[in-house]
Structure 1
Amino acid sequence: MAEATLTISSRNYSSWSLRGWLLCRMAGLDFATEVLSGDPASRAELLHLSPSFLVPRLTHGAVRVWDVLAIAAYLDEWKPQAGLLPEDRAARALCRAISGEMHGGFTNLRSALPMNLRARYADFKVWGGAQSDIARIVAIWEDALGASGGPFLFGERPTLADAMYAPVCTRFVTYGVALPDRCAAYRDHVMAWAPMQDWIAAVADEPEEIEELDMEF
Structure 2
Amino acid sequence: MAKPILYSGTKNASSWAMRAWLALRAAGYEFDEVVVDIRRPQRFGNLARIGAFSPPASVPVLDTGSTVIFDSIAIMEFANDFCEGGLLPVDAEARARARSLVAWQHAGLSGICGRISFESSFYPQKRRLTNAEQRECGRLFACYEDCLDQSGGPFLFGPVSLADFMHAPSAIRLSRHKADTRQWPRTAEWMRALIAQPLVAEWLNEADQQPHIWFDDYLVPGAEAELAAAQA
TM-score by length of structure 2 reads 0.79
Deviation at 1:131, TM superposition (A): 3.8
Flag the 1:27–1:146 CA change in 2: closer, same or farther, 3 A: same
Find the counterpart in structure 1 of residue 116 from structure 2: 113
Does the Cα contact within 8 Å between 1:112 and 1:126 map onto a contact in 2?
A: no
Find the counterpart in structure 1 of residue 36 from structure 2: 36
The separation in 2 between residues aligned to 1:211 and 1:134, in whole angstroms, is 23
Flag the 1:107–1:202 CA change in 2: closer, same or farther, 3 A: closer
Unaligned ranges ≥5, structure 1: 213-217
Find the counterpart in structure 2 of residue 56 from structure 1: 60
User: What is the count of residue pairs matched by the alignment?
Assistant: 208
Find the counterpart in structure 2 of residue 176 from structure 1: 178
The separation in 1 between residues aligned to 2:12 and 2:186, in whole angstroms, is 26
Find the counterpart in structure 1 of residue 220 from structure 2: none
Flag the 1:139–1:48 CA change in 2: closer, same or farther, 3 A: farther
Deviation at 1:177, TM superposition (A): 0.8
Find the counterpart in structure 2 of residue 151 from structure 1: 154
Find the counterpart in structure 1 of residue 162 from structure 2: 160
Amino acid at match of 1:61: G
Amino acid at match of 2:179: V
The separation in 2 between residues aligned to 1:4 and 1:133, in whole angstroms, is 39
Task: Report whether the alignment pairs 1:189 with 2:217.
Answer: no
TM-score by length of structure 1 reads 0.84
How do residues 1-217 of structure 1 correspond to structure 2 at under 5 angstroms? 3-37=3-37, 41-43=41-43, 46-47=46-47, 52-81=56-85, 83-109=86-112, 111-116=114-119, 117-119=121-123, 121-122=125-126, 124-126=128-130, 128=132, 130-155=133-158, 157-179=159-181, 180-204=184-208, 206=210, 208=211, 210=213
- Bigger Rg, which one: 2
Deviation at 1:20, TM superposition (A): 0.9
Comparing 98-107 with 145-154, greater Cα deviation is found at 98-107
Aligned-pair Cα RMSD in Å: 2.6
Flag the 1:106–1:123 CA change in 2: closer, same or farther, 3 A: same
Q: Quick one: percent identity of the two aligned structures?
A: 30
Relative contact order (alpha carbons < 8 A, sep ≥ 6): 1 or 2 greater? 1
Deviation per CA, 1:89-136, whole angstroms, max 9, x where unpaired? 1110110111111110224326221013422545513362x4454122
Deviation at 1:46, TM superposition (A): 4.2
Deviation at 1:35, TM superposition (A): 0.5
Find the counterpart in structure 2 of residue 215 from structure 1: none
Flag the 1:17–1:162 CA change in 2: closer, same or farther, 3 A: same
Deviation at 1:165, TM superposition (A): 0.8
Flag the 1:108–1:62 CA change in 2: closer, same or farther, 3 A: same
Deviation per CA, 1:147-179, whole angstroms, max 9, x where unpaired? 110001110x21110011110111123211111
